[in-house]
Amino acid sequence: MCGTGFGHFRWLAEGGAGQDVGRSCILVSIAGKNVMLDCGMHMGFNDDRRFPDFSYITQNGRLTDFLDCVIISHFHLDHCGALPYFSEMVGYDGPIYMTHPTQAICPILLEDYRKIAVDKKGEANFFTSQMIKDCMKKVVAVHLHQTVQVDDELEIKAYYAGHVLGAAMFQIKVGSESVVYTGDYNMTPDRHLGAAWIDKCRPNLLITESTYATTIRDSKRCRERDFLKKVHETVERGGKVLIPVFALGRAQELCILLETFWERMNLKVPIYFSTGLTEKANHYYKLFIPWTNQKIRKTFVQRNMFEFKHIKAFDRAFADNPGPMVVFATPGMLHAGQSLQIFRKWAGNEKNMVIMPGYCVQGTVGHKILSGQRKLEMEGRQVLEVKMQVEYMSFSAHADAKGIMQLVGQAEPESVLLVHGEAKKMEFLKQKIEQELRVSCYMPANGETVTLPTSLSIPVGISLGLLKQEMAQGLLPEAKKPRLLHGTLIMKDSNFRLVSSEQALKELGLAEHQLRFTCRVHLHDTRKEQETALRVYSHLKSILKDHCVQHLPDGSVTVESILIQAAAPSEDPGTKVLLVSWTYQDEELGSFLTSLLKKGLPQALS
Amino acid sequence: MAAHLKKRVYEEFTKVVQQQQEEIATKKLRLTKPSKSAALHIDLCKATSPADALQYLLQFARKPVEAESVEGVVRILLEHYYKENDPSVRLKIASLLGLLSKTTGFSPDCIMDDAINILQNEKSHQVLAQLLDTLLAIGTKLPENQAIQMRLVDVACQHLTDTSHGVRNKCLQLLGNLGSLEKSITKDAEGLATRDVQKIIGDYFSDQDPRVRTAAIKAMLQLHERGLKLHQTIYNQACKLLSDDYEQVRSAAVQLIWVVSQLYPESIVPIPSSNEEIRLVDDAFGKICHMVSDGSWVVRVQAAKLLGSMEQVSSHFLEQTLDKKLMSDLRRKRTAHERAKELYSSGEFSSGRKWGDDAPKEEVDTGAVNLIESGACGAFVHGLEDEMYEVRIAAVEALCMLAQSSPSFAEKCLDFLVDMFNDEIEEVRLQSIHTMRKISNNITLREDQLDTVLAVLEDSSRDIREALHELLCCTNVSTKEGIHLALVELLKNLTKYPTDRDSIWKCLKFLGSRHPTLVLPLVPELLSTHPFFDTAEPDMDDPACILSSVYSPGGPDDPLGTGVEVRNWESGIIVILCLASGFIYHRDLQRLGELQSELAGVADFSATYLRCQLLLIKALQEKLWNVAAPLYLKQSDLASAAAKQIMEETYKMEFMYSGVENKQVVIIHHMRLQAKALQLIVTARTTRGLDPLFGMCEKFLQEVDFFQRYFITDLPHLQDSFVDKLLDLMPRLMTSKPAEVVKILQTTLRQSAFLHLPLPEQIHKASATIIEPAGESDNPLRFTSGLVVALDVDATLEHVQDPQNTVKVQVLYPDGQAQLIHPKPADFRNPGPGRHRLITQVYLSHTAWTEPCQVEVRLLLSYNSSARIPKCPWMEGGEVSPQVETSIEGTIPFSKPVKVYIMPKPARR
């Protein structure tokens, strides 16, 4: 029984360029249910292109009627930035699912972003604080591995994804069809988060990010060691270290890294963290210990790793203090704000050092100094000479090609769909997945729809009596091997049942019809009928050892329930006709017998 | 119940009266016996509900049953089993049957028929499973009886088709434990179908229930453990199980693959989807490597652990495990390790890192890149980066084992081990440092690697630093600069953590003696003096000075002449010990011990024994014995002192030496017996009245009896000895009066021959040195009286067995008050074989003193002579035998006492 009718994927606008600046928004229709996965915004645009084009989903009619639910994988703005716009300005009242940490941190980031967009850049037609609050009221928080029943048929389940605090992969399941959406994930654990993990859920489709589709990364330990060595050497020399970071994610990882190192090495040099958003975020990190890695989870009873001993809040005045120090400052690309201010103060001293832990967009100060520029033109025609050391360390939290393959191997999907990456790179990974895992793979462009047929399995109830009867007959039950079974399928009220034929007859009130096959076999034998029958009997007896062969007094022979009679046709005394008759149920044995008899009897031994 | 109680009390009462004179211990046990089964019977009959019956059974199970009464109890249980309708009670009875059949001294073949019988009629799956478990217990109890085993295997095969997984599990377990090993035997025994146990178990690898699949694999492993050679065909089946949905199946399958790979390492297996063939061990290695990135961490730990023991794997595959082909945007990239190596070899080692320094170079052929199927590729890279520290530790251990067997691999894995020094979990860091030390013979550290290693010297954990010092003791450094770097870092370490002094000096000493040629050019620089301008002796506490003196390689061309003490080996004549020929005076032995440290233990041990013997002879030669009349004067001081000392020495011999075998224990106990005899004689001569003597004689005879019972097997070696003669006279002794006993003892003691001590192979004397407190401080430790002060104690222990239970700290206050402190088990560390380190805190407290005074701190070795003696047999069989806390019988001081100056001040109001 095969059915098609598995949904299609609508692939909404998704900027492929850059690493963290795309916008994710995927629409999945699965067995008649519509689910929107992530609702991201594009940081590169300041106009309408910033948000996905939601009119694409439904031309007329309300979104709430069309969508069954919205799922947000994690709190990065390219995955949740358009949420208030979508729910409040476009209008959606259905449930929005996300994990607890995401629910806690998401509004902070949205509010922060709104402030920059509206208060600083003075944009109109943007969502307001109230809208963020209203939007968050529609959120339903889920736990890891908790199966949430969205409605009678649709259920979702979250898996740990690493990447950032609270990041999750979601399994969406309707009946026997299922889809897994990974969001962003990381297969190598870091200092504060564990590795992504999924069980062998064998979904029909796995939608995975593919940011690093063509990269296999080096061990994290070398990078960490390098980082620590650089920082340590600089502070020992009496220099100052500036680490420009974004408020959430990598910042916490580096903090933990330095904090534990300071603890281990008994260092006394102060470490500062710029205040504001980060403080709030750190508070949440402290609360969501179950979402962190093994070490933090195991030791938090003695001490919460996010309650930093060595890291203190930064004050503007500290930058001029003499002596060594380490400062984490926002933003991460040195384009504005506190990090740039500090940079300007410290750039002139060759003892100091700046460590860029991430990617820098072209045009920012960060990018300039990384590409080796030593003289920077600042505003007011001022030239800043950079004497301090400039270091680059990449601490990325996306899975690399090997990691993606590993996850696909773990989940064992029927097919894979690659999103969130560059087409050229995805092409390579697609080829690899098809080659090495033998799984079909898709990579739709923005706005493209992929339809995937699925083999529909229909559950059929089987009566216990029939099953037991079958078990009693059969040999060892073998796992995972199909087995033939006789029974009657009753379809009644969209309800399938497999019962024994007797029961079916009884239930339907039908009388049983006997079906008999009869067959004549001509034998060349000159002897009398009785003797022929006797010969047939002894012949069959010698061959069919494990069947019950009987010679009845009336001259006929029975094998189980098959009747064989010998008759002499009047015209030819040299041939005898054997009448073989069997019921429909004994078809197998009956046909075997006839073919056996057709070969003739062996010559009598006497 | 009341009636029964009454009966029991009556019984006990009467018997106790009868037996008060002799051997109370053994008879008392017998007394409860008849009532045991009877009581159970009565209890069970009275039980009105299944819950009641269950309660009685549970109560019954708490008490041990002795071997003779087991059969009776079993009969009663079986009887109730047939009558019982409630499956839970039947289950408990079945489990009791299993427990009872394990009783030592009881042969369970008589209950087997019954067990099989009730098995055939049982309907409940749980009870069935429990009964099979009982049969397993019976079967394992009778390993020689082939017929029974065959029968049990048959029973198991019959029930294999059961629908319950529990029953199938137990059947497989039974097959694994009892399935006959050689096929020939099964063939000989006609009438019984030939069963290929392996085939039967193998069929259940594809059972529908994961628990049964696991049990099947475990049964297979059990067969292997029992010595059956598994077929190679199992390999393919096991490989399929590696992709099972359930972690316990995968975990067991990994083990099975490992077993097969060890059995058939050299057979050739084809690689699927190609025409090539590889060795089985290589193939298995690849498969297990693949499991290092499994979804379940249990499997990952298992896989990582097993990798370590696959030494036959080809080096090509081995080296792949550390290789992870890096790429970035489809271009080949070098790893940081490769880059570091290159930088080092090109001589630009401290160049700063630039943006794009690691820019990928050549293009990668997209077709040639394999992302997963590369088997062993990068297994350790993944294992060492794993989220769970259990996996990381297992991976480090495996690395260690593989590197020990392959020097080239050791060289390669170095970078990874060095990286592990920065792990977030201290245990992992420590483990990797230890690992590095173990493989240090095969490796030479590059300067950049040394740099990373030395950075860890600043770690705040003492264990880590000390492990690192030990590592440096046995590392090879390639250049002079490396040595210099190490030296500078160690000095830095010393200033930061002055408590590491001893460890650092030791480290420097070994480092110096390991690299004499590299150190030589550094010496003038280190001392910042020219050897010609020899100034006044430098301050000996200046660390650098100490360094140079230990650093100097020694020998004739030593520039400063301050080499380490060179042993005068000419005088170290090797003396072959031949104690049988007579006495070597123990002083000679002690001298020998000083000369040859490896013989010190033996020499000391025999010297002690000789000293005891000499003391005994001296005591017996005392004049006072010649006086026939009992001597009531205190003139026997010498003899009683000798007896006391011999006792002490024998305890020392028994408990202070590691490697003492049973042979020696007998001799030591014998010596102690002699000392006790001596004591008895002396007491008899010095005390008035017979009453105390009665008790002493009794006790002594008990001791003799005890000796005879526990060393019964060794008695033939003790011919002509004291105890030998004593045992001959035993019947006479039992009946005679104390005075007579004493007389007999005296003559036997004099006539008995000297027993010579067979020397054990390896024997070491336990010793301890207290490093801290050093006892040098003149500043008293001040604290308010009534409150406590914590004193850090740091000591090294050598050759102490089970220090967690035996080593105690004693604090002696000036007023004679002594305090015994039991350090926590966690305070003991084990840095190497035979060595322990005790780092603990001792709390001192006292009432106020007028002036500071010294307290003595020392280490004691506690002992309990009865701990050596095997426990009574029924105690181990019973499931609830409460572990008797080994009490301390006495203590031996085994370290020099250290004085600590303290001053409890009166509390201020």
Interface test mutation site (partner A, options B371, B417, B429, max chain A beta carbons within 10 A): B371
Assess whether A388 and A443 both reside in one domain: no
pLDDT in tens, B441-491: 878 888 888 888 888 888 888 888 888 888 888 888 888 888 888 888 888
- B295 at the A interface (CB within 8 A)? yes
Taking the CA atoms of residue B154, residue B160, residue B164 and residue B165 in that order, the dihedral angle to the nearest 10 degrees is 110
Assess whether A106 and A255 both reside in one domain: no
Longest dimension (CA), chain A: 129
Say whether pLDDT at B752 is over 80.
no
CA angle at B56 for the pair B53 and B60, rounded to the nearest 5°: 140
Owner of token pair 């069959």 = A540
Tally of domains within chain A = 4
Say whether pLDDT at B810 is over 50.
yes
The DSSP output letter for B49 is S
Measure CB to CB from residue A401 to each of B371, B458, B461 and give the nearest one: B371
Cβ-based contacts of B326 with chain A (< 8 Å) = 216-218
Tokens found for residue A427: 């092409």
Does residue A27 form part of some domain? yes
- B324 at the A interface (CB within 8 A)? yes
Q: Do A410 and B459 touch (CB under 8 A)?
A: no
B462-473 vs B480-496: helix crossing angle, rounded to 10:
150
* Greater pLDDT, A19 or A137: A137
CATH of the domain at A546: 3.30.70
Of B485-494, B544-553, B745-754, B827-836, minimum mean pLDDT range: B544-553
A517 Cβ contact list (under 8 Å, min separation 6): A581, A582, A583, A584, A587, A590
Interface test mutation site (partner A, options B158, B412, B424, max chain A beta carbons within 10 A): B424
Say whether pLDDT at B360 is over 80.
no
In this predicted structure, what is the pLDDT of residue B217? 93
pLDDT in tens, A476-531: 555 556 677 778 888 888 788 888 888 888 888 888 888 888 888 887 777 777 78
Nearest-angstrom CA–CA distance, A169 and A99: 10
pLDDT in tens, B375-433: 567 788 888 888 889 999 999 999 999 888 888 888 888 888 888 888 888 889 989 99
Owner of token pair 């002794």 = B733
* Greater pLDDT, B486 or B41: B486
Cβ-based contacts of A405 with chain B (< 8 Å) = 371-372
Say whether pLDDT at A135 is over 70.
yes
Assess whether A65 and A211 both reside in one domain: yes
Cβ-based contacts of A195 with chain B (< 8 Å) = 386-387
Does residue A476 form part of some domain? no
Measure CB to CB from residue A222 to each of B206, B378, B419 and give the nearest one: B419
SS3 B857: strand
**Among all residues of chain A, which has the CA nearest to that of B159?**
A476
Cβ-based contacts of A391 with chain B (< 8 Å) = 352-353
> Shortest Cα distance from A321 to chain B (angstroms)?
25
SS (H, E, C) B219-283: HHHHHHHCCCCCCCCHHHHHHHHCCCCCHHHHHHHHHHHHHHHHHCCCCEEECCCCCCEEEHHHH
pLDDT in tens, A378-387: 777 788 888 9
Interface test mutation site (partner B, options A192, A200, A221, A261, max chain B beta carbons within 10 A): A221
Cβ-based contacts of A217 with chain B (< 8 Å) = 326
- A370 at the B interface (CB within 8 A)? yes
**Pick from A392, A419, A443: which residue ends a domain?**
A392
In this predicted structure, what is the pLDDT of residue B207? 84
Say whether pLDDT at A350 is over 80.
yes
Does residue A206 form part of some domain? yes
Tokens found for residue A215: 């990269």
- B420 at the A interface (CB within 8 A)? yes
Measure CB to CB from residue A197 to each of B295, B384, B424 and give the nearest one: B295
Tokens found for residue B905: 């001040």
Residue % of chain A over a pLDDT of 70: 93
Cβ-based contacts of A218 with chain B (< 8 Å) = 324, 326, 333, 335-336
* Greater pLDDT, B131 or B889: B131
Residue in A14, A177, A209, A253 annotated catalytic: A209
Measure CB to CB from residue B419 to each of A221, A391, A428 and give the nearest one: A221
Q: How far apart are the first and last CA of chain B?
A: 66
Nearest-angstrom CA–CA distance, B650 and B661: 14
Arithmetic mean of pLDDT, B555-571 = 31
CATH of the domain at A421: 3.60.15.10
pLDDT in tens, A250-266: 888 888 889 888 988 88
Assess whether A73 and A191 both reside in one domain: yes
Does residue A475 form part of some domain? no
| Mean residue pLDDT across chain A | 83
Interface test mutation site (partner B, options A180, A190, A219, max chain B beta carbons within 10 A): A219
Cβ-based contacts of A477 with chain B (< 8 Å) = 208
Say whether pLDDT at B562 is over 80.
no
Say whether pLDDT at A15 is over 80.
no
Nearest-angstrom CA–CA distance, A365 and A340: 8
In this predicted structure, what is the pLDDT of residue A42? 77
Assess whether A89 and A122 both reside in one domain: yes
Distances (CA, A) of B48 to A590, B54, B86, B663, B674: 61, 11, 12, 58, 62
**Closest-CA residue to A195 (of A403, A411, A413):** A403
Residue B735: phi and psi, rounded to 5, are -95, -20
* Greater pLDDT, B611 or B40: B611
Nearest-angstrom CA–CA distance, B38 and B44: 10
- B770 at the A interface (CB within 8 A)? no
Question: How many other C-beta atoms lie within 10 A of the C-beta of residue B443?
Answer: 19
B447 Cβ contact list (under 8 Å, min separation 6): B344, B349, B478, B479, B481, B482, B485
Arithmetic mean of pLDDT, B612-620 = 80
> Shortest Cα distance from B369 to chain A (angstroms)?
8
pLDDT in tens, B135-163: 888 888 887 778 888 888 888 888 888 88
Q: Do A265 and B458 touch (CB under 8 A)?
A: yes
Measure CB to CB from residue B355 to each of A266, A392, A428 and give the nearest one: A392
Tokens found for residue B367: 């077709």
Measure CB to CB from residue B329 to each of A197, A215, A260 and give the nearest one: A215
pLDDT in tens, A536-575: 888 888 887 777 888 888 778 888 778 888 877 777 777 7
pLDDT in tens, A452-477: 888 777 788 888 888 877 777 665 55
Most confidently predicted of A27-31, A356-360, A598-602: A27-31
Assess whether A422 and A343 both reside in one domain: no
Cβ-based contacts of B455 with chain A (< 8 Å) = 229, 232
CA angle at B287 for the pair B285 and B288, rounded to the nearest 5°: 65
Assess whether A363 and A234 both reside in one domain: yes
Does residue A285 form part of some domain? yes
In this predicted structure, what is the pLDDT of residue B317? 81
Arithmetic mean of pLDDT, B653-659 = 81
**Pick from A453, A477, A498: which residue ends a domain?**
A453
Residue % of chain B over a pLDDT of 90: 6
Tokens found for residue B532: 């010609």
Of A174-178, A564-568, B455-459, B786-790, minimum mean pLDDT range: A564-568
CA atoms within 13 A on the CB side of B298: 9
The DSSP output letter for A214 is T
**Closest-CA residue to B358 (of B327, B333, B341):** B333
Arithmetic mean of pLDDT, B214-237 = 89
- B422 at the A interface (CB within 8 A)? yes
- A59 at the B interface (CB within 8 A)? no
Nearest-angstrom CA–CA distance, A455 and A394: 44
Assess whether A212 and A276 both reside in one domain: no
Does residue A320 form part of some domain? yes
CATH of the domain at A388: 3.40.50.10890
Nearest-angstrom CA–CA distance, A239 and A352: 5
Q: Do B389 and A294 touch (CB under 8 A)?
A: yes
Of A88-102, B206-220, B600-614, minimum mean pLDDT range: B600-614
Cβ-based contacts of B328 with chain A (< 8 Å) = 214-215
SS3 A572: coil
Interface test mutation site (partner B, options A200, A215, A437, A464, max chain B beta carbons within 10 A): A215
Which ipTM value was assigned to this complex?
0.78
**Pick from A392, A411, A444: which residue ends a domain?**
A392
**Per-residue confidence at B344, pLDDT binned at 50, 70, 90?**
low
- A480 at the B interface (CB within 8 A)? yes
Arithmetic mean of pLDDT, B547-569 = 34
**Among all residues of chain A, which has the CA nearest to that of B364?**
A214
DSSP state string for A357-417: -S---TTSHHHHHHTT--EEE-TTS-EEE--SEEEE-----S-BHHHHHHHHHHH--SEEE
Would you say B255 and B287 are in contact if contact means Cβ atoms under 8 Å apart?
no
In this predicted structure, what is the pLDDT of residue B150? 83
Say whether pLDDT at A438 is over 90.
no
Nearest-angstrom CA–CA distance, B717 and B360: 78
Does residue A474 form part of some domain? no
Say whether pLDDT at B230 is over 50.
yes
Would you say B114 and B104 are in contact if contact means Cβ atoms under 8 Å apart?
no
Tokens found for residue A6: 């598995």
Nearest-angstrom CA–CA distance, B808 and B819: 10
Say whether pLDDT at A56 is over 60.
yes
- Give contacts of B 830-889 with A, CB under 8 A: none
Assess whether A150 and A61 both reside in one domain: yes
Q: Do B422 and A198 touch (CB under 8 A)?
A: no
Q: Do A477 and B203 touch (CB under 8 A)?
A: no
**Per-residue confidence at B206, pLDDT binned at 50, 70, 90?**
confident
| Mean residue pLDDT across chain B | 75
pLDDT in tens, B242-289: 988 899 999 999 999 999 999 998 888 887 767 778 888 888 988 898
Query: Which letter, b or e, does each residue of B218-230 get, where b requires 16 or more Cβ atoms within 10 Å of its Cβ?
Result: bbbbbbbeeebeb
Does residue A605 form part of some domain? no
Say whether pLDDT at B666 is over 70.
yes
Would you say A513 and A577 are in contact if contact means Cβ atoms under 8 Å apart?
no
Arithmetic mean of pLDDT, A213-233 = 83
Assess whether A255 and A348 both reside in one domain: yes
Nearest-angstrom CA–CA distance, A35 and A97: 11
Report the predicted TM-score, pTM, of the whole model to 2 decimal places: 0.73
Cβ-based contacts of A260 with chain B (< 8 Å) = 424
In this predicted structure, what is the pLDDT of residue A146? 93
Assess whether A304 and A425 both reside in one domain: no
Say whether pLDDT at A19 is over 60.
no
Is A307 among the catalytic positions? no
**Closest-CA residue to B293 (of B238, B206, B398, B373):** B373
Assess whether A287 and A182 both reside in one domain: no
Say whether pLDDT at A165 is over 80.
yes
Of A205-219, A355-369, B620-634, B667-681, minimum mean pLDDT range: B620-634
Most confidently predicted of A590-594, B184-188, B259-263, B873-877: B259-263
Cβ-based contacts of A263 with chain B (< 8 Å) = 460
**Closest-CA residue to A580 (of A603, A606, A549, A559):** A559
- B206 at the A interface (CB within 8 A)? yes
How far is CA B633 from its chain centroid? 52
A94 is in which domain, residue-wise? 8-216+397-453
- Give contacts of B 342-381 with A, CB under 8 A: 352-356, 366, 369-373, 378, 381
Q: Do B336 and A199 touch (CB under 8 A)?
A: no
Strands A495-499 and A461-462: parallel
Question: How many other C-beta atoms lie within 10 A of the C-beta of residue A506?
Answer: 12
Q: Do B327 and A214 touch (CB under 8 A)?
A: yes
Residue B157: phi and psi, rounded to 5, are -65, -35
In this predicted structure, what is the pLDDT of residue B30? 40
